[in-house]
Structure 1
Amino acid sequence: GKPQLVELNDIIDPVKDKTIQSRFDIYSKDGKYYGIDFHVGATVIYYNKELLDKAGVNPDEIVTWDDFKEAGKKVVSATGKPMITIETDGPWTYWPLVVQQGSDFYDKDGNVILDNDINIKTLTFLKQLLDEKIAIAAPGGDHHAEEYYGFMNKGGAASVVMPMWYMVRFTDYMPDLKGKIVIKPMPKWTADGKRSAGMGGTGTAITNQCKNVELAKEFLAFAKLSKEANIQIWKELGFDPIRWDVWSDPALKEPNKYTEYFGDYIFDVLMSMKDEIDSPTVTENTPKMNELVVQTVLYKVLKEKSMSPEQALKNVANEMRK
C-alpha cells in the first residue's frame, strides 16, 4: 500500500551531485527516497602498523586480496598473531567483500543472488584464511563483542575490515592502539576492482503522521544535507559525511579525537576511493536474509565448519526464494 514515510526527493535532488548516491539508494524504492543517512559507511581496512613492521610488511604494497594473503603468512610467521579476524556471528566481514565486487545478496530487481559464483568464491576465500591459520574467528563472534575489543586492544591481530564508522570503537574501546592503527582502502579482487563498499546505515525519515511535513523536511535538509551539517557530523560523531565535497575541507583535518588517534589523513583515503563505494541492495526481506546468512551460512561454514560454502549459500538462497 501507501508507504508511511514521506518522499524526500525534493530536498535530496538539489545536492545529489555532491553526495555519494548509493547512500540514498538503501532508503529508496521505485525511484523515491524515504530516508537520509548520517554517513557513507565506507568500508576500509584497519592495520596494526606495529605488527606489520615486525613482519617487514608495508601496507601500501597490499593491493589485492592475494597480496593480503601472502602478507598474512609473513605476519603469522614473524609475530605468531593472525593477520585478520573474521566475524562468524555478524555480517561485517563477508558482506562488504561481496559488495565491493559488484555482487550482493539481492540484485537491483530484488531477486535472490546469494548463491552466485562471486559469493561462493568469497566465502571460500574466508574459509581458506581460517583453515590456513592466517585468520581467526573474531573473539566473541563479531567485532562489537567485549571479548573482541579486549583481544584487539592488546594487539591480538594485524588487521580488521570494517566501515569508517568503526573508528569510534577504536577510540572508545581500544585506547592502547592509539598511534598504531593505519587506515587503508580494502584490498581489491581484480586489477580494476573496487576498494570499498558502503555498509551499515543510520537513516532519518519523516512519517506521514507528521503535523508539519514541510518544516520537518526543511530541518532534515539542514541537519543532514547542508555543507555545515556534514562538517559537524564528522566533528561531533566521527562519521564519514555523505557529502563528498566536504571531504577536502580543511575543517576535516582539524584536531579531534579521531585525528589524534589515527592522524589527519583519514579523508585523503576516502577521497582516493570516492567512486568505488557501492552500497548493498536493501529490500523488505533484507533483515530476514541477513539473519539467515549470519546464523546459518557464516556460523556453519566458518565456525562449525560443518558445511561447504556452496551448500550453505544455496540452502539459504532457496529458502529466501520461496
Structure 2
Amino acid sequence: MKKKVLAALLCAAMAGTMLAGCGGGSSDSGSSSDSGDEASAEDGEGEDGEVEPEAVTTVGPDSGTKMEMWSFVSQHNDFYAKMLEKWNEQNPDRQIQITFTTYPFGDMHNKMIMALQTGEGAPDLCDIERGQFPNFLQGEVQLYALNDALEPYMGDLVQSRFDIYSKDGNYYGAPTHVGATVMYYNDELLSQYGIDYKTIKTWDDYTAAAEKLKEATNGEVKMTEVDTGGTDWMWLSMAEHGEDQVDEDGRAVVTEGMAEMLKLQKEWLDNDLAMICPAGQVDTEEGKQAIMDQQFASFPKALWYMSRFVSDMPDEAGKWAIAPCPVFEEGQSRSVGIGGTGTVVTQQSADPELAADFIAYAKCSYEGCVGIWEDLGFDVVNKSVWKDPAITQDTSNKYIAFFRTNPFDVLNEIENEIEAITVNSNTFILGDYLNVTTFNSIFENGQDVDEALQECQDMVDIDQE
C-alpha cells in the first residue's frame, strides 16, 4: 500500500508540472499526458513546509453545517460559492457554510491523497482532476458514493462522463463538463481561398483542403498543427477507430488508431501542409500566438477551449467556426471527451449526504449546469441545457456570440458520438513517453512510426503495473 501511495504522489506531482487548464482563466504550462486539462498553478510551500493556499473564502451562515472544500481552480470555487448561495436560499432547513480553499494543482492532490490514507485532515468536498482520479479509487475507496444524490438528474445526464469516475457500480465524482472534441476552423481565413470547411467530412477531404490552402498561400499558412506535447490527436483517432489505450487487464497499449494518425500527420509535415505547434500544443502562450498570427487554419480541441478564445484571443471573435471532426471513414464516431474534473465527497465529511446533495445540485441540475455554461463556458453534462432555446439561442452569451457557428448545434449533432478513453496509472506512463520521446522521435527526427510506437510499448511495459 505504501508503494501505491508513493506512486500516486509522484503521479500527481509530475502532472502538476505538465497540466494545462480547462478551468476559467488561462494556464500555459503544457498539456497533460492523459489529456486531463484543468487549470493548474505552480506548487508552493510555506516556510514551515506546509502547503500555502492561494485563496480562502467562507460562504454561508454561521448556523449552517460547516464544511471544507478544496479545488485547484479558483474559478471553480467562485462558481461553487455562487451555487451555495442559491442552495441556501432554496433549502432553509439544510443550510451549509463552506470554507473554499484553492491550492496549487500538485500540492492539493498530494495533500488529499495523504489525508485519505491517514484518515484525517480531508475536506468534505474536493475537486480531483480526471488524470489523477484513478489514484483515489485504488484499494478501499475513501470517497462517498454519489448515486443517491445524482438519481434525480440522471435521466438528463451524459452517462459516459460519470462512468470515468466510477468503481463497482458507484459514482464517486460529479463532472464539470463533457469535454467533447470538435474542430476549430478559421472560416474567415479559409473562405478567402475558396475553402469551405463544411464540405470536409473525412481526413482525405481535410488533406485535399490543406493542399489547396498550401497552393493558395504559397505554403505560408498551414492547414493545421501537430502536437508534440499533448495526446489529443491520439485520443481522437482512438475514438474514431473504436479503440482504447488499455487492454482488458488495464495495461496501457499503443493502438492502430495511433499509428494511422501519426502516419497521416507525418505525411502532412513532409508535404508542408502542417506545422509542429509552438511549445507542443495550442493551450500555451506560444500556441495561442500562432493561432492569432494565422500560422495555421484549424485544429481539434475540446469545446472548453472556447473559453481560451474569449479570454485570451478576443480579436479572433467572428472569425472561427466550430464543426465535428473529420474521420478516416464516414460512420466513425467524430468526437472524444477530453479533460475534466470530478468533484468528490469524502467519507471524513461530517454530513456526507448533505455534501453530496449540494454538489449534485451545483454541477448536475439544470440550474447548476446553466451556471457552469454561463460562467465557465463548458459543454455541460446535463443535456436538457443543450436543448433549451432560451440558452442555446441566446446571442448575448459571450461564447455563442464569439463564433460563426453555434456550439450547441455541433454538440447536439455529435451527441451520440462522444467516446470515452480510459485513464489509469499505466496510461499516464504511456502518455508521458509519447509526449517526451515518441512524438519528437517521429516528427523531429524522422523515425518510422511503427518502429517508434514499438519502442514506446517496450518502454511502457517495463514500468507499468
Given the two structures, how large is their TM-score scaled by the length of structure 2?
Answer: 0.66
Distance across 1 between alignment mates of 2:341 and 2:430: 19
| Alignment of structure 1 residues 71-150 onto 2, 5 Å | 71-79=209-217, 80-107=220-247, 109-114=249-254, 116-150=255-289
CA contact (8 A) 1:235 1:252 kept: no
* Range with bigger deviation, 199-208 or 100-109: 100-109
User: Sequence identity, in percent?
Assistant: 38
CA contact (8 A) 1:41 1:163 kept: yes
SS at match of 2:185: strand
**Which has more radius of gyration?**
2
Partner of 1:239: 378
Unpaired segments ≥5 residues, structure 1: none
1:215-259 Cα offsets, whole Å, 9 max, x none, are 110111101110111111101100000111210212233212212
Distance across 1 between alignment mates of 2:322 and 2:285: 22
Distance across 1 between alignment mates of 2:429 and 2:351: 34
SS at match of 1:285: helix
Partner of 1:27: 165
Instruction: Report the CA distance between 1:263 and its aligned residue.
Output: 4.5
Partner of 2:12: none
1:267 pairs, out of 397, 408, 416, with: 408
| Residue 189 in structure 1 maps to residue 335 in structure 2 | no
Change (3 A) 1:29 1:141: same
SS at match of 2:280: coil
Given the two structures, how large is their TM-score scaled by the length of structure 1?
Answer: 0.94
Partner of 2:58: none
After superposition, the CA RMSD in angstroms is: 1.7
| Alignment of structure 1 residues 1-322 onto 2, 5 Å | 1-79=139-217, 80-107=220-247, 109-114=249-254, 116-249=255-388, 250-254=390-394, 255-263=396-404, 265-305=406-446, 307-322=447-462
User: Given residue 252 of structure 1, which amino acid in structure 2 is its aligned partner?
Assistant: T
Distance across 1 between alignment mates of 2:337 and 2:191: 29
CA contact (8 A) 1:85 1:136 kept: yes
Greater RCO, 1 or 2 (C-alpha within 8 Å, sep 6+): 1
1:54-74 Cα offsets, whole Å, 9 max, x none, are 221111100011100111111
Distance across 1 between alignment mates of 2:239 and 2:430: 15
Instruction: Report the CA distance between 1:276 and its aligned residue.
Output: 0.1
Instruction: Report the CA distance between 1:49 and its aligned residue.
Output: 0.8
Distance across 2 between alignment mates of 1:181 and 1:108: 40
1:2-39 Cα offsets, whole Å, 9 max, x none, are 11222222233443332222211221233322212110
User: Given residue 204 of structure 1, which amino acid in structure 2 is its aligned partner?
Assistant: T
CA contact (8 A) 2:373 2:380 kept: yes
CA contact (8 A) 1:44 1:161 kept: yes
CA contact (8 A) 2:322 2:404 kept: no
Distance across 2 between alignment mates of 1:168 and 1:212: 35
1:148-171 Cα offsets, whole Å, 9 max, x none, are 211211222110110000001111
1:168-207 Cα offsets, whole Å, 9 max, x none, are 1111222221100000000112121111111111221112
User: Given residue 102 of structure 1, which amino acid in structure 2 is its aligned partner?
Assistant: G
Matched length: 320
Unpaired segments ≥5 residues, structure 2: 1-138
Distance across 1 between alignment mates of 2:302 and 2:337: 7
Instruction: Report the CA distance between 1:98 and its aligned residue.
Output: 2.1
CA contact (8 A) 1:235 1:256 kept: yes
CA contact (8 A) 1:85 1:137 kept: yes
